[in-house]
Amino acid sequence: MEKPSSRPFDEVQSVFSQTLSVIHSALVSDYRLTDEEARGAEEDLLIWFQRLSRRGGHMPERMLRISLLSATCQYGRSFQLWKLGGAPADDAALNDLLAREPDEVATELDRRLERGDRP
């Protein structure tokens, strides 16, 4: 039996919706996924995020957003590494990004979002 949500569904959807442009930009522009791959990732991330928000305890909105961005970066990194099959990319900037920890990239994305920077 699942525990009841500790936050309203609308609030969870709002956090996801407010973060979606940054998620899409990170997946397509930074991690070089195609639009179709990014849309599939976004669907997977939404399901994961909804499950995370239903867990017991109350996580502040900013921590929810950072968790979502961290999962986004982990997804993008893992997917791109799989696509490359262990070989380095032809793009040096992508190789630099793939060498970084997803949590570090997520924190940077969150800072941009907090400042109101556009993706």
Number of domains in the chain: 1
Q: How far apart are CA 32 and CA 87, in angstroms?
A: 15
Q: Is residue 119 one of the residues assigned to a domain? A: no
Range of the domain at 14: 9-114
Q: Is residue 99 one of the residues assigned to a domain? A: yes
Q: Is residue 61 one of the residues assigned to a domain? A: yes
Say if residue 105 is exposed, middle or buried (CB neighbours under 10 Å; 0-12, 13-18, 19+): buried
Chain mean position to CA 50: 13
Q: Is residue 21 one of the residues assigned to a domain? A: yes
Q: How far apart are CA 11 and CA 82, in angstroms?
A: 34
Q: How far apart are CA 70 and CA 82, in angstroms?
A: 18
pLDDT at 57: 65
pLDDT at 13: 87
**pTM of this prediction?**
0.86
pLDDT values of the chain reduced to their tens digit, one per residue, 119 residues: 444 445 566 778 889 999 999 999 999 999 999 999 999 999 999 999 988 888 766 778 888 899 999 999 999 999 999 999 989 999 999 999 999 999 999 999 999 888 876 55
Q: Is residue 1 one of the residues assigned to a domain? A: no
Q: Is residue 66 one of the residues assigned to a domain? A: yes
What is the four-CA torsion angle of 109, 20, 17, 44, rounded to 10 degrees?
-110
